[in-house]
Amino acid sequence: MSTEKAVKYVTETPEEEVKRVAEWINTEEYKEKNFARQALVINPAHTCQPLGAELAAHAFEGSLPFVHGSQGCASYYRSTLNRHFREPAPAVSDSMTEDGAVFGGQNNLHEALENAYALYKPKMISIFTSCMPEIIGDDLTAFIKNARQKGHIPQDTLLPYANTPSFNGSHIHGYDAMLLSILQTLTEGKQVEGRCTGKLNLIAGFDCNTGNYQEYKRILKAFGIPYTFLADISDVFDSPLDGTYQLYPGGTKLEDAADSINGKATITLGAYSTSKTFTWIKDNYSGKHISMPAPFGIEKTDAFIMKLADLFGKPVPESLKAERGRAVDAMTDAHQYMHGKKFAIYGDPDYLLGYISFLLEMGARPYHVLCSKGTKKLEKEIQALLDTSPYGKDAKIYINKDLWHLRSLVMTDPVDAVIGDTHAKFITRDAKIPLFRFGFPNFDRVNLHRYPLVGYQGVINMVSTICNKFIEITDDTCDDRHFEMMR
Ligand code: SF4
């Protein structure tokens, strides 16, 4: 019997109906209905809080991420990080199931802490929650206190913990909560009156581009500025393949993180993804505290470089001045391929502001600007940035809208390209325009996280990626008469 005959469809949709709906969802009429949608989110451009917490938990020496909650959720965070970086993301879960949901998850937590400590010998266990324990109201503070009292875990084990309810906020808020708890735990009692490490504490925020971390380190090395990178994932998710498996490769040294409270200055480049952490740092850390935008584009990179020079009383190194000149040259050589092009852009607030700066500097037009978890403050900041350039004047901002909304926008009011992550590939396929995967997560391309987007090198990378794609499209679509050696 052929398979065709063996399969009986419960409902059949006539081909004409499929065609009619496929065309209808590209119309203004459908867009209006789509934007009237209130209670349903379709393909949100963010992940849940615990995923961000896991990223922060991975970023410290010997730190084992520990999910208090469901095994399936833990697999989701791990696989998302694992697919983006193509590296292992080792984390444990206390695997709450139905009995945990009814009686609370304390037994799960205690048993899992014992096992995790015995099996994986971490220097620190960084605990965060999935939805289930948050919904039933598990008291993490009491559970962890009891674990120590009952001897499930040695008294002196470092156990930072964060409540990361996924029905609220996004991965950047979970990152913030976990980072805050780790720093509070490590620096407790470590502040020494009159002591100054002479170091800069640098915080990148939720950033899944390991090349960015390397770029920051390279800039600081060029200046000769001693630093502690707070939450350094660069070696964790970009460790060399040398035939040996390390459970805890890299990460910020616990000793350095503990002493960071006595630093000369602390800079956060992720104002939105470290807002609670930075508020706490301002109240508790010695030295100066600076929150500034991630250095995307020339102007923001200049501001970062000048801030470093100012804080540490050092001249800007000649090598960085030359790099700046090369970046400006790269922009000038390529500007005609981007000038006036319209972009739909979406992503986390700190990245989104960076994309806009960069596009405006290139004379490109950020046209549909969307953030699926944002605030009025973010909207105002985006608008203020757009208002600085004539190329931002016809941009529209969409806060708390999803990628299904973005699809309607792109299909009814077309753009030349989208900047986002892998999830927009269905939109750009339908719209027949390129997608630039600068955000997180990217599952369908390799090594993108190794190419920095920040600093002058980041400018060169973004200009080259975008402009070469537009040139390639011209080559692929032009007629023979216009197929030229020179472009
Ligand atoms: S949203 Fe909740 S249920 Fe879904 S993966 Fe995140 S923690 Fe788990």
The answer to whether residues 373 and 169 touch, using CB atoms and an 8 Å cutoff, is: yes
Q: Residue 84: which of 445, 352, 402 has the closest Cα? A: 445
pTM more than 0.75: yes
Distance 75 CA to ligand 1 centre (A): 10
Nearest residue to 129 via CA among 71, 175, 68, 176: 68
Choose one of 73, 78, 134, 168 to mutate for the ligand 1 pocket test, by most ligand atoms within 8 angstroms of C-beta. Answer: 73
Sign of CA dihedral 345, 175, 230, 278: positive
pLDDT of residue 421: 98
Query: Distance (Å, rounded) from C-alpha 85 to C-alpha 82?
Result: 5
Report the pLDDT value the prediction gives residue 96, as an integer from 0 to 100: 96
469: alpha, beta or left? (left if phi > 0; alpha if psi -120 to 50): alpha
Report the candidate in 54, 329, 37 with the shortest Cα–Cα distance to residue 182.
54
- 3-class state of residue 286 by DSSP: coil
Q: How far is the CA of 166 from the centre of ligand 1 (A)?
A: 6
Q: Could you tell me the distance, in angstroms and rounded to a whole number, from the CA of residue 131 to the centre of ligand 1? A: 6
The residue ranges of the chain whose pLDDT is under 70 are 1-5
CA-based torsion, 99, 102, 105, 111: positive or negative: negative
Q: Is 41 in the pocket of ligand 1 (CB under 6 A)?
A: no
Q: Is 48 in the pocket of ligand 1 (CB under 6 A)?
A: yes
- CA 444: distance to chain centroid? 17
pLDDT tens across 146-171, in order?
999 999 999 999 999 999 998 899 99
pLDDT score for 2: 56
**For residue 129, which atom of ligand 1 is closest to its CA?**
7
H or E element at residue 398 = strand 396-399
> Counting atoms of ligand 1 from 1, which one is nearest the CA of 164?
7
Tell me how far the alpha carbon of residue 316 lies from the centroid of ligand 1, in angstroms. 46
Q: What residue type is assigned to position 443 of the chain?
A: F
- Ligand 1 centroid from CA 53, angstroms: 13
Give residue 12's pLDDT.
85
Q: Is the shortest distance between the CB of 131 and ligand 1 below 6 Å?
A: yes
Rounded Cα distance, 314 and 306, in Å: 10
The beta-strand segments (E) located in 210-320 are 227-230, 265-268, 288-291
**What is the DSSP-derived secondary structure letter of residue 252?**
B
Rounded (to 5) percent helix, strand, coil in the chain:
50, 10, 35
| From 54, 68, 75, 76, mutation site for ligand 1 pocket: most ligand atoms within 8 A of C-beta | 76
Q: How many CA atoms lie less than 13 Å away from 168 in the CB half-sphere?
A: 8
Answer whether 84's CB lies under 8 Å from 440's CB: yes
Q: What pLDDT was estimated at residue 435?
A: 98
CB 127 within 8 A of CB 66: yes
Closest C-alpha to ligand 1, atom 5: 73
pLDDT at 10: 82
User: Pick from 328, 46, 287, 295: which is nearest to 175 by CA?
Assistant: 46
Question: Nearest 5°: CA angle at 355, between 350 and 358?
Answer: 125
Per DSSP, which regions of 132-282 are E strands? 161-162, 200-203, 227-230, 265-268
Look at residue 7 in the predicted model and tell me its pLDDT. Answer: 77
